[in-house]
Amino acid sequence: MTSTATSTLPKPSSAARLPEVETRSRSDARRVRWLLAALFVGLVVAFALGLWATIIRPAAYEVTGEFIARPASNLVLIRHQAVAALGMGAMELMAVFGDPAQIDAAALVPGDRVRLAVRPVDNQLTLIRIAKIR
């Protein structure tokens, strides 16, 4: 009994498949390099925008203190902790100007503990946000 299980078609050699694999790996390598380059450029742009934003707009400062009074619709007085960046010691009064609607929304009563963010603008402190501390 003889076996005729062998195929009459020649098997492709590994050398015949090599250019296809090599071409595919080269295109994959190019794609990866382009993606890495795009990621790098994106990160550099994001870093530059972040730096630019801090230069254009002054920093905001977090302050914790006690609400004292509201002498005008857009003005609140706060007795606060020390804010070294603004040159203010603890328990001084801070006059902060803000949007009356934002101040109304906080529903403050004298004696309330508050946390606020302020930004110096034109020699006065401008309110960014304010909230009661419970």
109-121 pLDDT tens trace: 999 999 999 988 8
Q: What is the pTM of this model?
A: 0.56
pLDDT at 1 > cutoff 70: no
The full 3-state SS of 33-97, as one line of letters, equals HHHHHHHHHHHHHHHHHHHHHHHHCCCCEEEEEEEEEEEECCEEEEEECCEHHHCECCCCEEEEE
For residues 13-51, one letter each, b for 16 or more C-beta atoms within 10 angstroms of the residue's C-beta and e for the rest, the string is eeeeeeeeeeeeeeeeeeeeeeeeeeeeeeeeeeeeeee
Predicted local distance difference test score (pLDDT) of residue 71: 94
Quote the pLDDT of residue 88: 85
Give the pLDDT score at 86. Answer: 81
Over residues 47-75, the pLDDT tens digits come to 988 877 666 666 788 989 999 999 999 99
Residue-level pLDDT at 57 = 65
